Chain A
Amino acid sequence: MIELSGVHKSFGAKHVLQGIDLTIPRGESMVVIGGSGTGKSVLLKCILGLVRPDAGSITLDSEDVTRADRDAFLARFGMLFQGGALFDSMTVWQNVAFRLLRGTQKRPKAEAREIAIEKLRRVGLQPETADLFPAELSGGMQKRVGLARAIAAEPEIIFFDEPTTGLDPIMSGVINDLIREIVTEMGATAMTITHDMTSVRAIADRVAMLHNGVIQWTGPVAGMDASGDPYLDQFIHGRATGPIEAVR
Chain B
Amino acid sequence: MDTLLSPLAALGRATLSLLAAIGSVAIFAADAVSQILRPPLYVREFGTALLTIGWFSLPVVALTTLFTGGALALQIYAGGARFNAEAVVPQIVAIGMVRELGPVLTGLMVSGRVASAIAAELGTMKVTEQIDALTTLSTNPMKYLAAPRILAATLALPLLAGVGDVIGIMGGYLVGTSRLDFNAATYLTNTAQFLVAGDVVSGLVKAAVFGFIVALMGCYHGMNSGRGAEGVGRATTNAVVSSSVMILASNYVLTELFFSA
**A48 within 8 A of partner (CB):** yes
Q: Which residues of chain A are within 8 angstroms of B42 by Cβ–Cβ distance?
A: 102
Q: How many residues does chain B have at the interface if contact means C-beta atoms less than 8 Å apart?
A: 13
- Output the nearest chain B residue to A79 by Cβ-Cβ distance: B136
**A180 within 8 A of partner (CB):** no
Task: Report how far A149 CA is from B135 CA in the complex, Å.
Answer: 14
**A215 within 8 A of partner (CB):** no
Q: Which residues of chain A are within 8 angstroms of B139 by Cβ–Cβ distance?
A: 98, 102-103
Q: Which residues of chain B are within 8 angstroms of A105 by Cβ–Cβ distance?
A: 138
> Among the listed A85, A86, A88, A104, which residue makes an inter-chain contact with B132, where contact means beta carbons less than 8 Å apart?
A85
- Output the nearest chain B residue to A102 by Cβ-Cβ distance: B139
**B133 within 8 A of partner (CB):** yes
Task: Report how far A105 CA is from B138 CA in the complex, Å.
Answer: 10
**A50 within 8 A of partner (CB):** yes
Task: Report how far A77 CA is from B133 CA in the complex, Å.
Answer: 11
**B2 within 8 A of partner (CB):** no
In the complex, which residues 136-195 of chain B have their Cβ closer than 8 Å to any Cβ of chain A? 136-139
The answer to whether B132 and A81 touch across the interface, beta carbons within 8 angstroms, is: yes
Task: Report how far A205 CA is from B42 CA in the complex, Å.
Answer: 41
> Among the listed B124, B125, B130, B133, which residue makes an inter-chain contact with A79, where contact means beta carbons less than 8 Å apart?
B133
Task: Report how far A142 CA is from B129 CA in the complex, Å.
Answer: 14
The answer to whether A50 and B135 touch across the interface, beta carbons within 8 angstroms, is: yes
- Output the nearest chain A residue to B140 by Cβ-Cβ distance: A70
The answer to whether A77 and B136 touch across the interface, beta carbons within 8 angstroms, is: yes
Task: Report how far A150 CA is from B137 CA in the complex, Å.
Answer: 9
**Chain A interface (Cβ within 8 Å of chain B)?**
45, 48, 50, 70-71, 74-75, 77-79, 81-83, 85-88, 98-99, 102-105, 149
